[in-house]
Amino acid sequence: MTWRQTLHHVVMAPLFATAGLLVMAVWGAGLVMATFFVWIWALPPDGPMRPGSGWTTDGGLVTAAGVALLLLGPWAFAWIARTDERTTRALIGRNRAEVLEERVERLAVSRAGVVDAADAERRRIERDLHDGAQQRLVSLAMNLGLARRTLTDIPTEAMQVIVEAHEEAQAAIEELRDLVRGLHPVVLEDRGLDAALSGIAARSPVPVRMDVDLDGRVAPAVEAVAYFTVSEALANAAKHARASRVDLSVRRSGDRLRIVIGDDGIGGADPSRGSGLTGLRKRAASVDGTLTVISPLGGPTTLTVELPCEL
């Protein structure tokens, strides 16, 4: 960069300045020559261009040459300006690495904004379902339960319909609660990642031994990624790994959140085969995190996730 700046300031800038002065000189000469018939009478009688035999033809040629120089001047100035601009950009402008670095920074900022917007939208949908559809289903289930207990003198067929409707309403409430929990668990927003992971471990069909050491909260988007990653990993351990125990470690080290999930299952997990591990890797990458899997045949399987604490 220093050599390029030196080349521009010492060689190229004086060169283009000189070229500009020459063009101005040529343009001035063209102006004088184009107006030859205006000031020819001011020449002394014994001058080289004094009126006489053939001076009109010579003056016409001089005037034509002056007009040509005037027309050439703007084109020459434009060419010098374009060449100077390209040379300046090449010598002292931003290089490709700087342009790419700025583009990467802009993409990182825009991606963080998209992740935050998606997380905010999930929270909004969760609130709408919890305060709207879920409350209506709860009210419906309560009314059906009340009718089931109080209406004892109705036909058996009608009572059977009420019982089935009550059970279906309760099942719908459970499904809706699972859906809401999958969108954005309330406990994650209210009490943080530690409490939310404890809830996942308590619901896991495979016993989970937790070791969580967090110093304060991290970014909401990072908490959401960590929560859903652990939830999916525990579900995979129960469904595919045939594990009898899962060890979960969550620690914050500087500006990184490190999550280690290990099980004693059969192993053989391969992200390249299109399993859920590919989705977990993409989820971690959405916040500039990484995911590595060590899963030899016969086990054990260790899944390590590192996420930035701040976006």
| Locus of tokens 């670095």 | 101
Ordered DSSP codes for 117-160: HHHHHHHHHHHHIIIIIHHHHHHHHHHHHHHHHH--SS-HHHHH
Show the CA angle centred on residue 151, arms to residues 149 and 154, nearest 5°.
135
Residue 88: per-residue pLDDT: 77
pLDDT tens track of the chain, all 311 residues? Answer: 677 777 767 777 788 888 888 888 888 888 888 887 777 766 665 655 555 545 567 777 878 888 888 888 888 888 888 888 888 777 776 667 777 877 777 777 666 666 666 666 677 776 667 667 777 888 888 888 888 888 877 888 888 888 888 888 888 877 777 676 666 667 777 788 888 888 888 888 889 898 888 877 888 888 888 888 888 888 888 888 788 889 999 998 888 899 999 988 888 877 666 557 787 888 888 888 888 888 888 878 899 999 888 65
The closest alpha carbon to 212, from 225, 227, 224, belongs to 227
Residue 275: per-residue pLDDT: 58
Delimit the domains of the chain by residue range.
Answer: 2-93, 109-183, 192-308
Greatest pairwise CA separation for the chain in angstroms: 139
CATH topology of domain 192-308: Heat Shock Protein 90 (3.30.565)
CA dist., res. 8 & res. 44, Å (int): 48
Residue 53: per-residue pLDDT: 47
For 269, residues 6+ apart whose C-beta sits below 8 A from its C-beta are: 236, 240, 241, 275, 277, 293, 295, 301, 303
Give kind and range of the element (H or E) at residue 55.
Answer: helix 55-92
CA distances from 112 to 64, 118, 285, 309 (A): 66, 10, 11, 13
Structural contact between residues 265 and 206, judged by C-beta atoms closer than 8 angstroms = no
CB atoms within 10 A of CB 60: 12
Plot region of 81 (φ>0 → left; ψ -120 to 50 → alpha; else → beta): alpha
Structural contact between residues 256 and 230, judged by C-beta atoms closer than 8 angstroms = no
